[in-house]
Each structure stands twice: as C-alpha cells, then as structure tokens.
Amino acid sequence: MLTAIVGINWGDEGKGRMVDLLSSDYDIICRYQGGNNAGHTVVNEKGKFILNLLPSGILRDTTVNVIGNGVVVDIEHLTNEIKMLTDRGIKITPENLKISDKAIICLPYHKMQDIMEEERLADKKFGSTRRGIGPVYSDKYMKKGVRMEDLFTPDKLHEHLSDLVEWKNITVTGYGHKPVDAEEIFAWLMKYGEVVKPYVTDVSKYLNDAVAGGKNIMFEAQLGALRDIDFGIYPYTSSSYTLAAFGPIGAGIPGAKLTNTIGIMKAYSTCVGEGPFTCEMFGDEAEALRKAGNEYGAATGRPRRVGPFDIPASRYGVRVQGADCIALTKLDVLSGMEKIPVCVAYDVDGTITTDFPTGERLNRAKPVVKYVDGFGDVSHCRKYEELPENAKKYVKMLEEAVGAHIKYISVGAGREEYIEVK
C-alpha cells in the first residue's frame, strides 16, 4: 500500500497529527518536499513535539523514516532537531532514519538570501519563513546545489564550493551585503555533515526494494494544496510541489503508483503569511476563532489568519490532490459557536462561482458567506453516532461540497481524540 497524506487547504491542517495516528499501519514514512519551514505538531503518550524536517513517523518505534530527494535539508537545523528528540528519549539511528543521497543541502547563504530579499521587498513581501527555502530550490534548478552525496567527497566539494560561492557573491554583493566566505561554508558543511552522514543512503534503491517486498509506505506532505508551486496561490506559494502526485518522485520511487490519497482538511480555514485569502474574517469573530483553535504558527509563532470553511478553495484542494477520502480536523474548535459561518461560493466580478480562480480573478474574489447552526461540544465524541445532529449535518454538508468521503473526524490534538466514520 502506497498512501499519500496531504493538505487540502493552505497548510497547518493537522497533517503531523494524522500521520502520527495513521502511521501505525505503515512500515515507512517519507517526507518528499519542502524543508524546515514546515511545522508539524504531534501530541502523543511521549509528549508534545514540533517537527520541522523529520517525518512524523519518527515518534513511532516501528517505522522507518525517509527524507527524500525532493526535500531541501538545512543540516544544522536537522542536527538540532535530532538532538532535541534524542534528548527526550526518542531513538534515532541509521536504521530508522534514512536521508536521500540526492537531497539538496540548504546552506547558510540561502537563509541569508531569503532574509535580504524579504527586507528588500519591505511591505510587498511574500511572507517567507526566512529559512532559505525559496533560494535553495532556485539554486537546485539552476544546477548550483550541493547534494548530500557530495559530503562523501570533501575535496571535490571544496573545489565545487569555491565556484558556487563566487557565483553566489554576485547576488549577495548586489544586495549590498559583504561577500560570503567559501571556507566558512565548507567548515559548516564538514561540521554538520559529520552528524548527518551516517543516515545518508541510496534511498531510491531502499524504497524500490521496499515496494518489491510489499511494504506499506506513506508519503507525508508539508503545507497544503493551495501552496503548491504550480497549482497554489502563486506567487504566494511554497517553492515545491506539495501535491500527492509528487510523493513518489520526491521520495525516490518515481515509477511507483499511489494506492490512495488521504486529504487532511480543516473544519475552518487558516492561512499563514501573505497572499489572497478570500474567506478571511476580521475583528472579534476572527479573534475568538484564532484563540479557540490556538492558531499560532508552529514554526514561527506568527498568528494565523483565520476564516470559515471555504468551499471553493477546499473543493479545488480535493481535486488537485486527487483525495480519495478526507480526514476532517479540528471540528471541536467550532464547539463554542452558536452560528457557524461557511464560505459557500465566491463572487468574482458579479459572477457567483464555486470554482477556485487564480491570479487577478482570485485577488478580486469576494466571499459569499452563509451561517449554519452550531452544534456544541464534540470533543468527547469517539463514534459518529455520538455526534450531535447539527455536527453530523455540518460534516455531511462539507462532504457533499468537496465531493469526497470524510473517513476520519479529529476532535482533539491527542492521538486518540478522533472518530473513524464506518
């Protein structure tokens, strides 16, 4: 079984939480895109963890975790993340963590470039997490990247790095910054390279053998459909493919076919950073929802923008992900609301539509909001039958609107706080 578990919305849908729950059925969990700009929160019997680079399966003793070729890896950050977890008693060894030899390393100058660019843009900024992700992906496609496998040939790497740094300094000095020192970068690579090298391996071969051996593999996405580089709200997107279809490629088994895709969809909307967010709510109503959902970024601590469930955006998310079923998260957060707003359509230049537009049409879209009846507390529910009638109605409405079966309903952050819809 090859399963992708992906975000339907703008990210922070609770992917980490659902991977942690569902990973018990899988032998291998792969991260296939993005970098340490991810923030996946997992709460289980071992405590509360925020993971940036490591797959959420690292918290289970039985799963092997893979960082695939599609991921960009800040090895200093990874070193710290490994240390943070091992200090808390999580066992991390080359047996349960494998990093692709083809993964690109996110270098200190990528982070620097990210910060310089956001500062140059001032009030026009994209809302980058400033972790170098955009610049390192750009360099990857310019064929100016350093790969994990390069750590094993330090002499060659040293030579290559002086060319890279010379090229990078054209940009760096253009920003009015002092040039980058190749020796410093090399020393950084050697220092953190020593820590990560034991985990670096031919992941593609490992995964191909695993598929042949009938292993169950899960692909864990970072961010959501609407942040996909091509199909998201460009240019306010991430720099990689967040979609399920990219899972096998970014993990290392491009020829493999997905068995199924589970879309993680939130019972309301949140969005971190800049960009069009048609359903956005403001004022007291927004503040109350933000508080109830504790909507502050896991990676950055930034307050998240919030809004009601957005039918056009989520329907589109389900479509581009090709989701076979849905895990609806954070239904409990709506518990306190007497009337629940839902964005049922967009008004684009006077035309009412449930199709999700892009570009300028998206910028001009206005939400069409309708209110449905609230349903009181659902946090204690563990069976579908236990849900109040109005909660069932809400779930059914979303299901019909997005055109995919809601198989799981999460009503709390803890591992067992969910309902499986039979």
Judged by CB under 6 A, does residue 305 bind ligand GDP? no
Kindly list the distances between the CA atom of residue 386 and the CA atoms of 21, 380, 383, in Å, as whole numbers in the listed order.
Answer: 21, 9, 5
Tokens 């051996």 locate to 213
* Tokens describing residue 23: 């990973």
Of 40-48, 106-114, 335-343, 387-395, which part binds ligand GDP (CB under 6 A)?
A: 40-48
Judged by CB under 6 A, does residue 20 bind ligand GDP? no
Judged by CB under 6 A, does residue 16 bind ligand GDP? yes
Q: Which does 329 bind (CB under 5 to 8 A by kind): Mg ion, ligand GDP, none?
A: ligand GDP
Query: Phi, psi (5° rounding) for residue 265?
Result: -130, 135
Q: Is 12 a catalytic residue?
A: yes
Judged by CB under 6 A, does residue 333 bind ligand GDP? yes
Cα angle at 315 between 305 and 404, to 5 degrees?
Answer: 120
Judged by CB under 5 A, does residue 12 bind Mg ion? yes
Alpha-carbon distance of 417 to 401, in angstroms, equals 25
Q: Is 40 a catalytic residue?
A: yes
Instruction: List, in sequence order, every residue forming a beta bridge with 346; answer none if it has no partner.
Output: 353, 367
The active-site residue out of 20, 27, 40, 373 is: 40
Judged by CB under 5 A, does residue 114 bind Mg ion? no
Tokens 């942040």 locate to 227
Listed residue (349, 348, 368, 344) closest to 357, CA to CA: 348
95's CB contacts (< 8 A; 6+ apart) are 64
Instruction: Kindly identify the residues of this chain, within the stretch 131-170, that bind Mg ion according to CB under 5 A.
Output: none
Judged by CB under 6 A, does residue 228 bind ligand GDP? no
Query: Nearest distance from residue 6's CB to ligand GDP, in Å?
Result: 10
Helix-strand-coil percent breakdown of the chain, rounded to 5?
Answer: 40, 25, 35
Instruction: Kindly identify the residues of this chain, within the stretch 175-214, that bind ligand GDP according to CB under 6 A.
Output: none
Of 7-15, 112-120, 196-204, 381-389, which part binds ligand GDP (CB under 6 A)?
A: 7-15
Number of residues that bind ligand GDP (CB under 6 A): 21
Of 13-21, 67-75, 143-151, 341-349, which part binds ligand GDP (CB under 6 A)?
A: 13-21
Which residue type sits at 55? P
Query: Nearest distance from residue 251's CB to ligand GDP, in Å?
Result: 18
Burial class (CB within 10 angstroms; exposed 0-12, middle 13-18, buried 19+) of 372: middle
Say if CB 9 and CB 328 are below 8 A apart. Answer: no
Alpha-carbon distance of 153 to 186, in angstroms, equals 12
- Letters for 19-58 (x = contact with Mg ion by CB under 5 A, - = none) are --------------------x-------------------
Contacting positions for ligand GDP (CB under 6 A): 7, 11-17, 39-41, 43, 298, 329-330, 332-333, 410-413
Residues carrying an active site annotation: 12, 40
